[in-house]
């Protein structure tokens, strides 16, 4: 079977979109998407007030910055859940399989430990600053922003544990077999 032409002989463009399947989207992905949409609406409001009404709403820049922080920290959970972080698998190709297996387990433990320690440090920081530190323009505690970071780190810790469990159960990780994904069983 030959591949269909994308551009026919008359120069017309023909293509079909792949079906979109959002059934495997994790909860944190939906939370990040919701924050992203509110961020987009906030920036749009800022644009309208600044360039159309010529009376900029000062709070929008600060709130947009904090929402972007939330999108990044909560959205990073998607990469952890899919195990698509940047990784170097070069050495795994040149070491004995048993050594690669144990090294990938160490990576799973260190990754989970890193996220767990970030949760602990974020809680400690939030407790130290309390509600005394306020946002610059909006009269709200900075712990709201740090709470978004805490939620992201906690979710990354949980998802990292899930990924490590998948690796343990199936007997190999993506580091050992980079051609695989987490959904491969």
**pTM of the prediction?**
0.83
Contact 63, 138 (CB under 8 A): yes
Helix (H) / strand (E) element for 119: namely: helix 97-129
**Residue appearing with tokens 């972007």:** 68
Which tens digits make up the pLDDT trace of 73-122?
Answer: 999 999 999 988 877 777 888 888 889 889 989 999 999 999 999 999 99
CA distance 25 to 84: 14
Range of weakest confidence among 3-12, 30-39, 46-55, 139-148: 3-12
């Amino acid at each position: 079977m030959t591949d269909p032409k994308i551009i026919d002989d008359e120069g017309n463009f023909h293509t079909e979109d792949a079906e979109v399947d959002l059934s495997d989207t994790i909860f944190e992905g939906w939370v990040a998407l919701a924050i992203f949409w509110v961020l987009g609406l906030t920036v749009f409001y800022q644009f309208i007030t600044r360039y159309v009404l010529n009376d900029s709403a000062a709070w929008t820049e600060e709130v947009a910055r904090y929402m972007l922080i939330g999108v990044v920290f909560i959205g990073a959970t998607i990469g952890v859940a899919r195990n698509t972080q940047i990784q170097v698998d070069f050495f795994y190709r040149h070491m004995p399989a048993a050594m690669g297996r144990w090294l990938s387990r160490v990576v799973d433990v260190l990754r989970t430990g890193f996220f767990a320690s970030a949760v602990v440090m974020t809680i400690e920081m939030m407790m130290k600053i309390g509600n005394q530190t306020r946002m610059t323009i909006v009269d709200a505690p900075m712990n709201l922003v740090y709470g978004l970071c805490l939620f992201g780190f906690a979710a990354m810790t949980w998802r990292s544990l899930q990924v490590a469990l998948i690796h343990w159960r199936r007997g190999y990780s993506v580091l050992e077999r980079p051609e695989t994904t987490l959904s491969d069983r």
